[in-house]
Homo-oligomer: A and B are copies of this chain.
Amino acid sequence: MTSTTLQLNSIFSALADPTRRDILKRVGKKELPVGEVAKPYKLTLAAISKHLKVLEEAKLILKRRQGKQQLVHASPAAIRDASAFLKLYEAEWTDRFDRLEAYLIKNK
């Protein structure tokens, strides 16, 4: 598999989990330490730490150490890749789909 394929695999599977999408939303607005990231969820810190690892491996977030804390923020590159993938098909499919639907209605 190409590296792009592997990247898309990890980006989309990272985005498939609602907790991770929510984390992403929050660290996109403001850089947060892991402890703060974890607060809204009724999950253990270990679970959040795992979610962050998945997001980091998909390059959707970056971490930097500041003293004892690890500060987390969203990284736009991966989101741009996923978004580009979807945009590529969006317009084309919409056109084809509209023509097909019109045809099916006409011949029903």
Residues of A within 8 A of B (CB): 1, 5, 8-9, 12-13, 15-18, 21, 24-25, 28-29, 31, 64, 73-76, 79-80, 82-83, 85-87, 89-90, 92-94, 96-97, 100, 104
Contact = CB atoms under 8 A, between A and B. Distances in A.
Nearest to A10: B16
Contacts of A12: 12-13, 15-16
A15 to B, nearest CB: 4
Contacts of A24: 89
Contacts of A5: 18
A15 B83 CA distance: 12
- Majority SS at the chain A contact face: helix
B87 A83 contact: yes
A15 B9 CA distance: 8
B31 A18 contact: no
Given A9-B18, A12-B12, A18-B5, A79 B89 contact: yes
9 contacts: A1-B18, A12-B12, A13-B13, A29-B92, A64-B104, A74-B93, A74-B97, A76-B97, A83-B90
